Amino acid sequence: MIVCITVSEDGRAGGGWGRAHRVALATTSDGTITDWRDVEVGWDTAHDEGTEGSHHARIARFLIDNHVEAVVTGHMGPPMSRMLGTMRIRTSFDADGDARAAVLAALPALEGPV
Pairing of the two strands 12-13 and 70-72: unpaired
- 4-25 pLDDT, tens digit per residue, is 999 999 999 988 998 899 999 9
Domain with residue 105: its CATH number is 3.30.420.130
- pLDDT, residue 106, reads 97
As for how many domains the chain has, the answer is 1
DSSP result, 39-85: EE--HHHHTTSS-HHHHHHHHHHHHHHTT--EEE-SB--HHHHHHHH
Return the biggest CA–CA distance within the chain: 40
- 35-84 pLDDT, tens digit per residue, is 999 999 988 776 666 666 678 899 999 999 999 999 999 999 999 999 99
Residue 102 domain boundaries: 2-110
